[in-house]
Chains A and B, each alone.
Chain A
Amino acid sequence: MANFNIDATQQRTFQAIVIGSGLSGSWAAKELCEHGVKTLVIERGREVKHLHDYPTTNMLPFEFEHRGQLTKQIEEENPVVSKCYAFREDAMHFFVKDKEHPYIQEKPFDWIRGYQVGGKSLLWARQVQRWSDFDFEGPARDGFAIDWPIRYNDIAPWYSHVEKFAGVSGNKDGLPNLPDGEFLPGFELNIVEKYFQEQLKKHYGDSRHMILARCAHITGNLEYYKQQGRLQCQSRNLCQRGCPFGGYFSANASTLPWAERTGNLTMRTDAVVHSIIYDEAKGKATGVRMVDANTKQTEEYFADVIFVNAAALNTNLILLNSTSNRFPNGLGNDNGLLGKYVAFHNYRAGISAEYEGFADYTTQGGRPTSGYFPRFRNLHKQETDFLRGYAAGFSAGKYNYADQSGIGLSLKEQLLNPSKYGNWTVGSHMMGETIPKESNLVTLSKNEKDAWGIPLLSVHVEYDDNDEKMVKDYQEQMTEMFEKAGFTNIRVRDDHRAPGLDIHEMGGVRMGKDPKTSLLNKNHQLHACANVYVTDGACMTSTSTQNPSLTYMAFAARAAHHAMKNQRWGKI
């Protein structure tokens, strides 16, 4: 028996464990495996194999019973996830249903989750904008949160590393606040978007820009991506179903199969992490305790280094639940700040309008991206009565409508021969920076547990006065810019959505220089437990305005290399 136990323990011992197989976790796994590190990836959800497990990817519209629409029953059973734009008949199998994984909303919070191999990398909007020092220096300059322990130069080479492998399409725009990267050819802005670009130049000089958003799609260097089994993006715009071409970056299409090919990856799916095991005598974490999602049996796995990439709030949950004599309030939580300073992106406001110009023109084909406004508010200096600012999406489109009046053969012919070209429609939505606060936090429920015996997460996150002012400013500024461009029928909105629906929740395990005010050091190690790394959204000290996934991926790659150097592993 003794030998059997030793063998069993050896079989469950790896050099590194990565918790979570999504965007950031798969990047840690890829870097580690590629350099010879025996790595276990633990995923709480089911296996989703690239190409094999995309059941709807090649379905035609009429093959969906409800033509893509959600049924009332599904909407009623899922009031939270039904609000997500991508939760539709073609992709709902990749989202967590409300009842499956309850959580507590102390304040309204729409927590959108994807529990499967690849996580939300199958579902993301694929927008990848770099941060600059205008972002990393924000908290120090403007006096909120704490100073980031890193600057753009620390992360720039890792942005390049990630962009090259993932494949990023974009233009070199030469903007200091949105640095250029390793770009494949960009998609095209349309004639009205280009017109708006020129109008901004005319009215605002160099102070406001609208550019083509950079997106994680393959548009060139095709031989290189063939090594990953990925092909050029075909502009299907059906990304949320999983891409049969591997045209956009997902963990399933890219990093995970790459890691698997090294022979160093072990994947354990359907395994819900309960906590990280801390060994007081050794003064470090030694492994991970998990519960089999189906059998509910507890198992333990061991490793020298542990990466926590469970997605921002679940990373908080795991650390809070990792209690020991040394850490009674959660792993690494000596200062009591674990779970606090959670922030997100404010997506409440939008604007739409029409443009009567270029009436003779339209567009053809598909495009998986749109225009993008890098932040211009408070960029060089404080200029408003609120802190920070917002980025924004922008796009213009032209639609050919069919006249649906009447009935009979005339209606039939109208439908088959659409001929009502409307004006161009233009629209934008805001992506506002929110200020991390101690009062925006997640905690563990004292009484309620999930089906695996793990405390439910309780979320207390809300908007503040700064956010309200920013919504107003976005509406005013966009209206002004739209008016100057000659757009008409301008309508602003504030949908008062709850935080969370942005799916950019961040923080709770923030980085910083001082162990008294932060949880992680500049290398993403817990100050108080250095063999545990956090490189997903939980590590964010501030949110800035850019879609954050690219930064998480770069952080994960950088931290993996730090761990390998530290452990003297691999062929670094």
Chain B
Amino acid sequence: MQRREALKSLAVLTGGAILVPSCNFEKEEILAAYSNLKVTPAQQSLLAQIADTIIPPGKLKGAQDLAIQDFILVMVNDCVAQTGQTQFTIGLQAFNSFSKKKGGKNFSKLESTAKEKVIAEGLSIGAETTDENQKAVREFLSITKRFTIQGFMMSQYIMTEIKPYSLIPGSYNGEVLISSISNMKIDG
């Protein structure tokens, strides 16, 4: 917590980007806030596009509008076991070549339907695959999807403006007819 607070203050001082050089100065710099992941700004932006494909903007805001990529990185960096982190990192690194193979282009260059198709294919990579990169892509996408859903549904936007959360849920009723609950459809 303190570490992140310190980094946040640093971010304010440095105008947002918190970059530290990686060991090899020829490579791109990595984001210091997610030290377990060694994520570059370019990968962060790729992750944002993937999350935004999983939950796109429509009538309501989408994942990128809510910076869900940052939530995903926080959760993977802090709450996912090391094996999962490794799969996530390898999968993220391998994702553009996976995109080229399946969609013919880097992910950011694809049309949105093609983007959806690449992600859907990645998520459905069979458990029997022996290709380590394929495995990692599948793991990376399934972790990303899980945290995109959580980050979106538990965002301030959804929990205050769309489906307001109440700290006081009201007194218990143990016998409610489902048909009596008004169900206003929310268009995405």
Contact = CB atoms under 8 A, between A and B. Distances in A.
Dominant SS among interface residues on chain B: mixed
B172 A361 contact: no
B53 A409 contact: no
> Interface extent on B, as a size class?
35 or more
Interface in A408-435: 408-409, 411-413, 415-417, 419, 421
A73 interface: yes
A267 to B, nearest CB: 29
A234 B78 CA distance: 33
Nearest to B85: A72
Nearest to B188: A412
A69 B78 CA distance: 10
Contact of A188 (B81, B119, B172, B188): B172
B10 interface: no
Contacts of A70: 79
Contact of A71 (B58, B79, B123): B79
A72 B79 contact: yes
6 contacts: A66-B78, A193-B174, A367-B172, A409-B56, A411-B149, A412-B188
Interface of A: 58, 60-62, 65-67, 69-73, 187-191, 193-194, 234-238, 360-367, 404, 406-409, 411-413, 415-417, 419, 421
B35 to A, nearest CB: 11
Contact of A62 (B156, B162, B181, B187): B156
Contact of B79 (A69, A194, A404, A408): A69
A407 B172 contact: no
Interface in B116-136: 116, 119-120, 123
Interface string B44-81: 00000000011110101010000000000011001111
Contacts of B14: none
B175 A191 contact: yes
A71 B132 CA distance: 27
B171 A365 contact: yes
A21 to B, nearest CB: 27
A409 B167 contact: no
B78 A73 contact: yes
Contacts of B170: 235, 364-366
B178 A66 contact: no
Given A65-B74, A366-B169, A360 B179 contact: yes
A367 B116 CA distance: 42
A362 B74 contact: no
B124 to A, nearest CB: 11
- A-B pairs, top 3 by smallest CB distance, nearest first, are A190-B174, A412-B188, A367-B172
Contacts of B154: 61-62, 67
Contacts of A65: 1, 4, 74, 78
A66 B79 CA distance: 8
A72 B37 CA distance: 14
B54 A407 contact: yes
A407 B122 CA distance: 12
Contact of A413 (B74, B81, B179, B187): B187
Contact of A361 (B55, B116, B178): B178
B171 A363 contact: no
Dominant SS among interface residues on chain A: loop
Contacts of B119: 407
A194 B173 CA distance: 13
Contacts of B120: 406-407
Given A66-B75, A411-B54, A235 B171 contact: yes
Nearest to A232: B171
Nearest to B160: A60
A439 B21 CA distance: 59
Contacts of B56: 408-409, 412
A416 B186 contact: yes
Interface in B1-48: 1, 4
A237 B170 CA distance: 11
Nearest to A190: B174
A409 B169 contact: no
B108 interface: no
Contacts of B53: 407-408
Given A363-B172, A363-B173, A412-B60, 5 more contacts: A60-B156, A72-B82, A365-B173, A412-B62, A416-B163
Nearest to B54: A407
A409 B62 CA distance: 9
A407 B183 CA distance: 23
Contacts of A187: 172
Contacts of A188: 172-174
B152 interface: yes
A476 B159 CA distance: 43
B183 A238 contact: no
Nearest to A407: B54
Contact of B174 (A71, A189, A360): A189
A66 B162 contact: no
B86 interface: no
Nearest to A410: B188
A145 B162 CA distance: 60
Contacts of B74: 65-66
A360 B177 CA distance: 6
A366 B171 CA distance: 6
A406 B120 CA distance: 7
A61 B179 CA distance: 29
A190 B171 CA distance: 13
Given A66-B79, A234-B168, A366-B169, A411 B175 contact: no
B88 to A, nearest CB: 13
Contacts of A237: 169
Nearest to A419: B183
Contacts of A189: 174
A421 B178 contact: yes
Q: Among B165, B168, B174, which residue has the most Cβ atoms of chain A within 10 A? A: B174
Interface string B138-166: 00000001000110111110011011010
Contacts of B177: 360-361
Contact of A408 (B54, B167, B181): B54
